[in-house]
């Protein structure tokens, strides 16, 4: 089957042209190149996808270097993994990997890797729908390779592993199965379902690398239908592999609904997409003890910066919630000071969790108060001979607070306000 027409119709023109260029260069170098993985699946589903993965029978680094040279791009080579990424000046990227096969010596271990044919390369993949390839060399450009029934499973809406040990080799595939099932509204095939449950019973997830667990959860929480995915994780008893106390109950689902409402509002108001997974993860973890969240983050083994960013966020969300629930009512300036210490996704998670009493204040904070600045500045304070200058930023913050609370909204009143305040502070 040749799918050139579909590729041309579905992918953007420059991506299609790049694939033709890859084919031409493959002929020149005497390699074979294939488009593989998610993008092939998506083309067959008539969805566009610009994550271009190319498998090279030969040497991906050598191919990528020549390709980048020829097309005015840059190649970043990962010699150890025999992979490379070609980055064009406008940021468009194409990933190249040398065709390989993988052997797992024991469950969930790091696989042994060997160069291999495209068929073997496809056989090491997770599901039939992700294990198809398209030939790119000129003479056969567009020929679809489907050794494992991927097209049939796309038609039958089925997620199916390629062999019985698939989840044992790599249990993180269970999380991937959930993600794809939910994204495409597919079923997990009956045999795959049994293998899935078997892998859960074997408790192999402890051995999955922490970063992999994090990434798969992040991808799941980035899906539109993540709530359904979490329900599926509950059905298969996968939540416990993140933490034994992690729950998804009606209350949590209602919190996710509130989060989606505030996210919709935020998108509509500001035409901007906040980092969804962080907000959703903060809500997911919001009932866990701090020590549990700490355990989870340790397990994820993220780099120092990411660990700090996430632990700050989850901690702020928890602390904020406790404080807001205790306080009930507060001036807008106090609310603003509090919210502005948090990154947007965390502030949105707090907004979702705190409930309706704060709804107006939350919306006012995002649309108005966070942008408020005093109408006077250091020069005005200098001209008024206010001392010491080290107090200026505090004084100006106080002016900002007063403006937010509607006490002094123009320059004149702010000048009066600051003069009185400085006097009260005993400074001149």
- Of 42 and 380, the one with the shorter C-beta distance to ligand ATP is 42
**Shortest Cβ 55–ligand ATP spacing (Å):** 10
Question: Which tokens hold the place of 63?
Answer: 């191919």
**Shortest Cβ 137–ligand ATP spacing (Å):** 21
Question: Which tokens hold the place of 112?
Answer: 């042994």
Say how far apart CA 43 and CA 318 lie, in whole Å: 43
Query: Cis bond leading into 388, ω under 30°?
Result: yes
- Interface size with ligand ATP, residues (CB under 6 A): 12
- The piece of 168-176, 187-195, 345-353, 419-427 that touches ligand ATP (CB under 6 A) is 168-176
Binding of ligand ATP at residue 331 (CB under 6 A)? no
Do residues 59 and 98 make contact, with C-beta atoms less than 8 angstroms apart? yes
Residue nearest to ligand ATP according to CB distances in the complex: 38
CA-nearest of 387, 417, 386 to 400 is 417
Say how far apart CA 392 and CA 282 lie, in whole Å: 36
Give the number of other Cβ atoms within 10 Å of residue 252's Cβ.
17
Binding of ligand ATP at residue 160 (CB under 6 A)? no
Binding of ligand ATP at residue 173 (CB under 6 A)? yes
Binding of ligand ATP at residue 380 (CB under 6 A)? no
Query: Going by C-beta distance under 8 Å and a sequence separation of 6 or more, which residues neighbour residue 303?
Result: none
CA-nearest of 162, 187, 191, 164 to 177 is 187
* Interface characters, 64-103, with ligand ATP (x: CB under 6 A): ----------------------------------------
Question: Apex CA 260: angle with CA 238 and CA 235, to 5°?
Answer: 20
- The piece of 64-72, 125-133, 343-351, 407-415 that touches ligand ATP (CB under 6 A) is 125-133
Per CB under 6 A, contacts with ligand ATP among 287-306 are: none
- Of 163 and 416, the one with the shorter C-beta distance to ligand ATP is 163
Binding of ligand ATP at residue 258 (CB under 6 A)? no
- Of 54 and 386, the one with the shorter C-beta distance to ligand ATP is 54
**Shortest Cβ 195–ligand ATP spacing (Å):** 14
**Shortest Cβ 297–ligand ATP spacing (Å):** 22
Kindly state the DSSP code that residue 2 receives in the 8-state scheme.
Answer: B
Phi, psi of 153 (to 5 degrees): -70, -30
Do residues 202 and 168 make contact, with C-beta atoms less than 8 angstroms apart? yes
- The piece of 74-82, 166-174, 295-303, 367-375 that touches ligand ATP (CB under 6 A) is 166-174
Q: Choose which of 18, 83, 128, 130 interacts with ligand ATP (CB under 6 A).
A: 130
The bridge status of strand 112-115 relative to strand 133-135 is unpaired
Per CB under 6 A, contacts with ligand ATP among 206-235 are: none
Say how far apart CA 100 and CA 81 lie, in whole Å: 10
Do residues 381 and 387 make contact, with C-beta atoms less than 8 angstroms apart? no
Distances in Å between the Cα of 175 and the Cα atoms of 170, 285, 309 are 10, 18, 24
- The piece of 13-21, 122-130, 248-256, 371-379 that touches ligand ATP (CB under 6 A) is 122-130
- Of 39 and 398, the one with the shorter C-beta distance to ligand ATP is 39
Q: Choose which of 4, 24, 29, 38 interacts with ligand ATP (CB under 6 A).
A: 38
Q: Choose which of 62, 170, 380, 401 interacts with ligand ATP (CB under 6 A).
A: 170
CA-nearest of 132, 124, 134, 222 to 173 is 124
Q: Choose which of 2, 14, 47, 51 interacts with ligand ATP (CB under 6 A).
A: 51
**Shortest Cβ 237–ligand ATP spacing (Å):** 20
Q: Choose which of 23, 37, 150, 189 interacts with ligand ATP (CB under 6 A).
A: 37
**Shortest Cβ 124–ligand ATP spacing (Å):** 6
Question: Which tokens hold the place of 17?
Answer: 């042209």
- Of 57 and 170, the one with the shorter C-beta distance to ligand ATP is 170
CA-nearest of 271, 124, 107 to 199 is 107
Say how far apart CA 259 and CA 265 lie, in whole Å: 10
**Shortest Cβ 352–ligand ATP spacing (Å):** 25
| Residues of this chain that bind ligand ATP (CB under 6 A) | 37-38, 51, 53, 125-126, 130-131, 170, 172-173, 176
């Amino acid at each position: 089957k040749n799918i050139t027409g579909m590729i041309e119709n579905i992918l953007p023109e420059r991506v299609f042209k790049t694939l033709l260029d890859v084919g031409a260069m493959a002929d020149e170098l005497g390699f074979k190149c294939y488009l593989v993985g998610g993008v092939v699946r998506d083309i067959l589903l008539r969805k566009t996808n610009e994550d271009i993965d190319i498998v090279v029978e030969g040497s991906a680094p050598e191919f990528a270097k020549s390709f980048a040279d020829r097309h005015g791009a840059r190649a970043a080579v990962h010699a150890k993994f025999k992979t490379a990424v070609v980055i064009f000046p406008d940021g468009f990227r194409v990933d190249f990997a040398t065709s390989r096969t993988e052997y797992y010596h024991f469950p969930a271990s790091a696989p042994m890797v060997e160069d291999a044919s495209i068929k073997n390369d496809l056989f090491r993949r997770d599901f039939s729908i992700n294990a198809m390839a398209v030939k790119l060399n000129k003479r056969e450009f567009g020929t679809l390779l489907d050794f494992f029934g991927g097209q049939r499973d796309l038609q039958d809406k089925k997620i199916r592993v390629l062999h019985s040990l698939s989840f044992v080799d790599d249990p993180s595939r269970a999380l991937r199965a959930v993600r794809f099932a939910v994204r495409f509204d597919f079923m997990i095939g009956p045999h795959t379902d049994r293998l899935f449950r078997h892998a859960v019973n074997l408790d192999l997830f402890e051995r999955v690398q922490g970063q992999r667990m994090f990434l798969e959860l992040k991808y799941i929480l980035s899906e539109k239908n993540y709530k359904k995915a979490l329900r599926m994780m509950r059905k298969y008893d996968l939540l416990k592999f993140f933490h034994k106390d992690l729950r998804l109950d009606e209350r949590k689902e209602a919190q996710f609904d509130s989060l989606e409402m505030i996210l919709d509002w935020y998108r509509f108001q500001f035409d901007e997409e906040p980092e969804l997974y962080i907000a959703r993860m903060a809500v997911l973890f919001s009932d866990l003890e701090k020590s549990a969240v700490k355990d989870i983050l340790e397990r994820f083994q993220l780099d120092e910066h990411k660990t700090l960013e996430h632990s700050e966020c989850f901690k702020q969300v928890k602390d904020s919630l406790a404080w807001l629930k205790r306080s009930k009512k507060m001036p807008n300036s106090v609310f603003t000071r509090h919210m502005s210490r948090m990154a947007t996704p965390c502030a949105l998670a707090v907004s979702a969790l705190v409930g309706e009493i704060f709804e107006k204040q939350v919306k006012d904070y995002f649309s108005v108060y966070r942008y408020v600045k005093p109408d006077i500045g250091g020069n005005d304070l200098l001209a008024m001979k206010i001392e010491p200058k080290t107090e200026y930023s505090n004084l100006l913050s106080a002016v900002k607070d007063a403006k937010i609370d509607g006490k002094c909204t123009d320059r004149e009143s702010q000048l009066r306000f600051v003069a009185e305040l400085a006097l009260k502070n005993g400074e001149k």
